[in-house]
Amino acid sequence: MTRVAPVGGTAVQDHVALAEIELCGDLIIAASAAHEDRLSLESIDEVLKVAEERARESGTGE
């Protein structure tokens, strides 16, 4: 017997997983547009907006 998921509103969204997928997509786009073989750590931090997140967490808003 084969079970099929019912049609309708039974989908569960994992917001953390969706955010991680979006970040991976951003990195893939940046890597494909890069002129060098690999993204530098600084480029990765820029794509992932590390400085902005740190500023937001520290309350400086920079």
7-18 tens-digit pLDDT: 666 666 889 999
Give the Cα separation of 62 and 56 in Å (integer).
7
| Nearest Cα to Cα of residue 53 among 21, 29, 19 | 19
The pLDDT tens digits for 19-51 are 999 999 999 999 999 988 899 999 999 999 999
Q: Determine the pLDDT at residue 43.
A: 94
pTM of the model: 0.66
